[in-house]
């Protein structure tokens, strides 16, 4: 019934030879990829990984240093995607490959007005300090020996950069290595001690052995194109990519200073004259915005209740209906929340729509929905969830997961003829009838917009009064 989480200890690392063999197979008769395809996906995954860690607002000026082989090609592709992501990349590409694939990549960058800088420009002065991020795409898994000119100087320059970081003013660029940190032995790592010391490594296809020696903060895997046949042939154990992501973090979780975690919200102004007179209409508008923004489960809301002891408790529930009478969700009528609601009908719900910088608070009294309404919803649920509702004595203490699995199996067998699963008597909906709403939208310097609605009656006509609250 359940899958086990991927353990980063079990991930495969490739020798230099295996890396070349995987490459060869990928471009062999089956699966028959072209180098252009793989390079495009590799470069896109590098750009995605960079964007996941280093936001364009803070790390805007990127220098991609590109080598003579395919690692350099990945750098050219990544620079193009970074440009589209809102970065301002420049490229240093001293030994240009003459194949159409590479000349095309250069033309594409030129057509985006991405500047090319020379080695002399970089070596000559402080130019490197003008960048926020250096992308090392000099050498990948075919590197061997010591870097030859002009890359010897470039590797030295980037290596100094990372080495001296502690002594500089903290403004020197971060370094992101593509597949293999340049100057490193593909298997043994930085044996000469003269390789670069990246802050981030994006391994492609599968990490190479040298990645075991990587001690920077961020290790990602990209190159989401390995078909099962190739993975099986090379016995590759690779982590799953989340959702539609082009990259996945494979290193340790980043160390962060929790107190420094903050986002400066920037949104359009939320003005009194722009909101709907009826807060339910305003809620629907914002809910539609949340749907359009692709927020996962925009109907997830925090529900706070408190029983007769006055001690509040909160949990998430899913909004399953909204109409002029209020907000509906479904649950177990013998759960903790149900007990608290039976003792005190006053409750609060809250939505937070992260990518929109929006929060909605609603307060009011709660009552059960009719049995018919609960039944109608119950029978619309997936069969598994219906059985789940029968299985779970919500909020009661149970000895272990096995109890749930056992009962689930029994009930599955009991109803294996496909007959309808009856709604348990202790399962149903609640409706919160609003008497207060607050629409919050995040703004810079914590000077957020807050518009609060409370019921109002003017000249016998029922409506809502809107006031602005200090943030
Ligand atoms: N399926 C995959 O795996 C995918 C792989 N992809 C990417 O391809 C990368 C491998 O590319 P690659 O084979 O072209 O080799 P790479 O490492 O770029 O360098 C070779 C060049 O460097 C040169 N060179 C070597 N040593 C040198 C030295 N000491 N000093 C100076 N130069 C030296 C060498 O010149 P040569 O020695 O032949 O004269 C040659 O020109 C891989 O890491 C990944 O990024 C993705 O695009 C897609 C999927
Ligand atoms: C996103 C999300 C949605 C949830 N939706 C519901 C729901 O609609 N109904 C429900 O009973 N529990 C839901 N749960 C589980 C509750 O948070 C909670 O664990 C459960 O209702 C027991 O709470 P209680 O012991 O306070 O009554 C959800 C949890 C999450 C994270
Ligand atoms: C225990 C429980 N009941 C009910 C729900 C409500 O959602 P659905 O009816 O879609 O299962 C959830 C959602 O997470 C839940 O966890
Ligand atoms: K590299």
| Rounded percentage of the chain residues whose pLDDT exceeds 70 | 96
Cβ–ligand 2 contact at 394 (below 6 Å): yes
- Residue 413 CB contacts under 8 Å (≥ 6 apart), including other chains: none
| Surrounding residues of ion ligand 4, Cβ less than 5 A | 136, 177-178, 182
Asked whether the beta carbons of 137 and 67 are under 8 A apart, the reply is yes
Residue 367 vs residues 328, 332, 343, 364: alpha-carbon distances, Å: 10, 14, 12, 10
Cβ–ligand 1 contact at 230 (below 6 Å): no
Tell me whether residue 244 is annotated as binding: no
Nearest ligand to the C-alpha atom of residue 430: 2
Question: How many CB atoms neighbour CB 59 within 10 A?
Answer: 19
Residue 428 vs residues 330, 393, 431: alpha-carbon distances, Å: 5, 13, 10
Across the chain, mean pLDDT equals 95
The pTM of the full predicted model, rounded to 2 decimals, is 0.73
Q: What is the DSSP string of 57-101?
A: TTS-EEEEEE-SSHHHHHHHHHHHHHHHTT-EEEEE-SS---SHH
Left if phi > 0, otherwise alpha if psi is -120 to 50, otherwise beta: which for 380?
A: alpha
Q: Which residue has the tokens 């502690």?
A: 166
Cα(471) to ligand 3 centroid in Å equals 33
| Rounded percentage of the chain residues whose pLDDT exceeds 90 | 91
Cβ–ligand 2 contact at 331 (below 6 Å): yes
Q: Of all protein residues, whose CA lies closest to atom 4 belonging to ligand 3? A: 331
Q: Of all protein residues, whose CA lies closest to atom 13 belonging to ligand 2? A: 317
pLDDT at 161 over 70: yes
pLDDT of residue 4: 46
CA 276 to chain centre: 33
Per-residue pLDDT tens digits for 48-104: 999 999 999 999 999 999 999 999 999 999 999 999 999 999 999 999 999 999 999
Domains defined for the chain, CATH in brackets = 9-260 (3.40.50.10260), 279-468 (2.30.110.10)
pLDDT at 364 over 70: yes
Residue 176 vs residues 99, 117, 351: alpha-carbon distances, Å: 26, 19, 37
Cβ–ligand 1 contact at 179 (below 6 Å): yes
Q: Of all protein residues, whose CA lies closest to atom 7 belonging to ligand 3? A: 318
- Of 116-130, 146-160, 240-254, 428-442, least confident by mean pLDDT is 116-130
pLDDT of residue 162: 67
- pLDDT band of residue 322 (cuts 50, 70, 90) is very high
Tell me whether residue 299 is annotated as binding: no
Rounded mean pLDDT, 131-152 = 97
Rounded mean pLDDT, 247-276 = 91
Per-residue pLDDT tens digits for 15-58: 999 999 999 999 999 999 999 999 999 999 999 999 999 999 99
Q: Which atom of ligand 2 is nearest to the CA of 318?
A: 8
Q: Which residue has the tokens 């990209």?
A: 222
Cβ–ligand 3 contact at 381 (below 6 Å): yes
Rounded mean pLDDT, 423-441 = 98
pLDDT at 418 over 60: yes
Tell me whether residue 217 is annotated as binding: no
Rounded mean pLDDT, 437-460 = 97
pLDDT of residue 165: 58
Tell me whether residue 278 is annotated as binding: no
Rounded mean pLDDT, 318-342 = 97
Cβ–ligand 1 contact at 182 (below 6 Å): no
- pLDDT band of residue 128 (cuts 50, 70, 90) is confident
- Of 124-133, 164-173, 407-416, least confident by mean pLDDT is 164-173
Choosing from 446, 450, 465, 468, which is the catalytic residue? 446
pLDDT of residue 3: 39
From 299, 317, 380, the mutation candidate for ligand 3 (largest count of ligand atoms within 8 A of CB) is 317
- pLDDT band of residue 163 (cuts 50, 70, 90) is low
Rounded mean pLDDT, 137-166 = 89
pLDDT of residue 9: 76
Rounded mean pLDDT, 395-402 = 98
- pLDDT band of residue 172 (cuts 50, 70, 90) is confident
pLDDT at 7 over 70: no
Q: Of all protein residues, whose CA lies closest to atom 5 belonging to ligand 2? A: 317
Cα(184) to ligand 4 centroid in Å equals 9
From 15, 35, 73, 142, the mutation candidate for ligand 1 (largest count of ligand atoms within 8 A of CB) is 142
- pLDDT band of residue 2 (cuts 50, 70, 90) is very low
Cα(386) to ligand 3 centroid in Å equals 10
Q: Which atom of ligand 3 is nearest to the CA of 388?
A: 1
Q: At what angle do helices 100-111 and 70-84 cross, to 10 degrees?
A: 20
Please state, in angstroms and rounded to a whole number, the distance separating the CA atoms of residues 194 and 213: 14
Asked whether the beta carbons of 134 and 177 are under 8 A apart, the reply is no
pLDDT at 238 over 60: yes
Q: Which atom of ligand 2 is nearest to the CA of 337?
A: 27
Per-residue pLDDT tens digits for 193-213: 999 999 999 999 999 999 999
17 is catalytic: no
Going by their DSSP bridges, the two strands 300-306 and 346-353 should be labelled as: antiparallel
Going by their DSSP bridges, the two strands 326-332 and 427-441 should be labelled as: antiparallel
Cα(220) to ligand 3 centroid in Å equals 34
Q: Which atom of ligand 3 is nearest to the CA of 392?
A: 1
């Amino acid at each position: 019934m359940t899958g086990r989480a991927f353990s980063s200890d079990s991930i495969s690392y490739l020798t230099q030879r295996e890396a070349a063999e995987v490459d060869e197979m990928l471009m062999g008769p089956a699966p028959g990829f072209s180098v252009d395809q793989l390079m495009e996906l590799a470069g896109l995954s590098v750009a995605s990984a960079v964007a996941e860690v280093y936001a364009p607002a803070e790390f805007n000026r990127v220098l991609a240093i590109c080598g003579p082989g395919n690692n350099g090609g990945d750098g050219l592709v990544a620079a193009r995607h970074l440009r589209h992501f809102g970065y301002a990349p420049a490229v240093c590409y001293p030994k240009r490959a003459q194949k159409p694939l590479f000349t095309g990549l250069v033309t594409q960058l030129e057509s985006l007005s991405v500047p090319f800088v020379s080695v002399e420009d970089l070596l000559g002065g402080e130019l490197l300090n003008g960048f926020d991020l250096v992308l090392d795409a000099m050498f990948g898994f075919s590197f061997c020996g010591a870097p030859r000119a002009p890359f010897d100087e470039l590797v030295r320059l980037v290596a100094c950069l990372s080495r001296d970081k502690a002594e500089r003013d903290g403004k020197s660029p971060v370094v992101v290595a593509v597949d293999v940190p340049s100057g490193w032995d593909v298997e043994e790592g930085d044996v000469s001690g003269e390789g670069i010391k990246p802050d981030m490594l994006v391994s492609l296809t599968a990490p190479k052995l040298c990645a075991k020696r990587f001690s920077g903060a961020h290790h990602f895997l990209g190159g989401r194109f390995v078909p099962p046949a190739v993975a099986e042939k090379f016995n590759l154990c690779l982590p799953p990519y989340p959702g539609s992501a082009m990259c996945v973090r494979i290193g340790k979780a980043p160390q962060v200073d929790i107190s420094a975690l903050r986002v400066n919200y920037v949104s359009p102004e939320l003005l009194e004259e722009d909101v709907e007179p009826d807060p339910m209409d305003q809620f629907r508008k914002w809910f539609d915005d949340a749907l359009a923004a692709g927020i996962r489960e925009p109907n997830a809301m925090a529900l706070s209740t408190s029983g007769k002891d006055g001690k509040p408790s909160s949990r998430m529930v899913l909004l399953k209906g909204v109409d002029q009478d209020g907000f509906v969700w479904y649950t177990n009528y013998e759960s903790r929340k149900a007990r608290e609601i039976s003792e005190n009908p006053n409750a609060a719900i809250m939505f937070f729509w992260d990518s929109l910088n929006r929060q909605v608070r609603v307060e009011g009294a709660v009552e059960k929905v009719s049995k018919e309404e609960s039944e109608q919803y119950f029978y619309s649920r997936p069969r598994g969830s219906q059985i789940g509702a029968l299985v779970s004595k919500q909020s009661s203490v149970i000895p272990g997961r096995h109890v749930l699995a056992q009962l689930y199996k029994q009930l599955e067998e009991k109803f294996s003829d496909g007959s309808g699963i009856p709604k348990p008597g202790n399962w149903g909906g609640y409706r919160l009838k609003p008497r207060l709403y607050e629409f919050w939208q995040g703004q810079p310097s914590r000077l957020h917009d807050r518009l609060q609605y409370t019921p109002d009656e003017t000249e016998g006509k029922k409506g809502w009064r809107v006031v602005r609250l200090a943030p």
